[in-house]
Amino acid sequence: MSSSITVPRFRTVITAVILVLGMIFTLPGAADGAVADSYDTVRFATFNASLNRFNAGDLATELSAPGSAQPDVIAEIIQRTRPDVLLINEFDYDAGDVALDGFQDNYLSVPHGNASAIYYPYRYTAPSNTGIYSGFDLDNSGTAGDFVPNDSFGFGFFPGQFGMAVYSMYPIDYDSIRTFQNFLWKDMPGALLPDDPAVAGPADWYSADELDVFRLSSKSHWDVPITIGKRTVHFLVSHPTPPVFDGPEDRNGTRNFDEIRFWADYIHPGRSGYIYDDNGGIGGLAANARFVIAGDQNSDPLDGDSIPGAIQQLLDHPKVNTKVTPSSAGAVEQSALQGRANTTHLSDPAFDTADFSDFAPGNLRADYVLPRKNMQMVGAGVFWPLASDPLFPLVGTFPFPSSDHRLVWIDVRP
């Protein structure tokens, strides 16, 4: 186990007035799919919002003032879908929570178009493995540090690039948050450690010394407990590495598979005994714990470059509810209009959540919000309007005004 333990940072504002305002803004909005018809539903969402920048501190500076174009569009999408609990992927981390609070104060709290402002009293972010230089030649180029992003624990040009953030209407149990930033890949039983095809022997892409420090999470895995009435729902969030940008060793594909597997094991008491968190806690969720798994998993069930069966580790899990699949008419329309790689896809285009290159890999289902089976799903959707919809300019086509991913939401009764 790595000797470096990261203490997560958090930010919370707790006053009676703010809590009341938060509850007012909790009502489900009219998004692309079915809308919950009861006040006791909770909307969970994930959004890879592409709020990443080229230099450390750039996002914090940008969000410290209102009026930046892309964050404005991202905020409006969130205001129109109105999640109660939201994960944002690709949100650069800064230790002072400047970006975390600035996005709330200068964008989410500011009405856009005819969409009302939205306020999240509870927010959380923590360090990411991206851009943390390992000191080793992880890409086997022959020189350690010749291209730092490839020789870091997660691809990034600076520590925290492509990080994550959680915004919640409901209280976050900050004292019970678990992070798994430092969990070592080799400590997962049966890990799909990549093999160098040019060298005899199995699973030898990384040396023994490299495996002694190499972390499973390309960003991090977080268990963020959300208090909803008298119940706790564990918001299990992550952003596995894309299964591309490597070679025949498939080091990113195998890592993506095992990053997805982590949550499949974590929610299964019989398989989670090997897991340890950044504070030394052992094991996964209790057998009766409620959870929602969320994030850009970078894995389509049938298309794209992930290892076959990668996302099925969650979709086919006996504890995961897949009764309702988030969908949109806009995804179907764009798949047909863009053609090319999309014409050979096997997955239903209605379920696509990401608008990737028309040539390869085409549009894919990459983003997921998956509740426990005993949590009733009463609605779900993907914010991907038709081209004729007045809201279509919020998503657009390449170059996108917001992100190449779409916000995905579900409504559940916890």
Evaluate whether residue 2 is within a structural domain: no
pLDDT digits (tens, 9 = 90+) for 337-375: 999 999 999 999 999 999 999 999 999 999 999 999 999
The pTM of this model reads: 0.91
Q: Which residue in 251, 279, 281 sits closest to 266, CA to CA?
A: 281
User: pLDDT-based confidence at 40, cuts 50/70/90?
Assistant: confident
State residue 333's pLDDT score: 98
Q: Are 214 and 208 in contact (CB under 8 A)?
A: no
The pLDDT, as a whole number, for residue 9 is 41
Length of the chain: 414
Average pLDDT, the chain: 92
Task: Quickly state the pLDDT bin for 1 (edges 50, 70, 90).
Answer: very low
What is the model's pLDDT at position 32? Answer: 34
Q: Answer yes or no: is 347 within a domain.
A: yes
pLDDT digits (tens, 9 = 90+) for 309-335: 999 999 999 999 999 999 999 999 999
- Residue 231 one-letter amino acid: R
- Tell whether 97 is covered by a domain: yes
Is residue 5 in a domain? Answer: no
Q: Quick count: other Cβ atoms within 10 Å of Cβ 25?
A: 17
CATH number reported for the structural domain that contains residue 203 in this entry: 3.60.10.10
% of residues, the chain, pLDDT over 70: 91
Residue 13, pLDDT > 60, answer no
Structural domain contains residue 327: yes
DSSP H helices in 214-311: 251-266
Specify if 1 maps to a domain. Answer: no
Q: Are 273 and 282 in contact (CB under 8 A)?
A: yes
Residue 187 has which token pair? 């400590």
DSSP string for 320-382: B--SS----HHHHHHHHHH-GGGGG--S-GGG--B---TTTT-SB--EEEEEBTTSEEEEEEE
Instruction: Provide the domain count of the chain.
Output: 1
Give a yes or no: residue 111 inside a domain. Answer: yes
Residue 250 lies in a domain: yes
Q: Are 174 and 12 in contact (CB under 8 A)?
A: yes
Residue 234 domain boundaries = 10-413
Structure tokens at 72: 């404005």
pLDDT at 292: 98
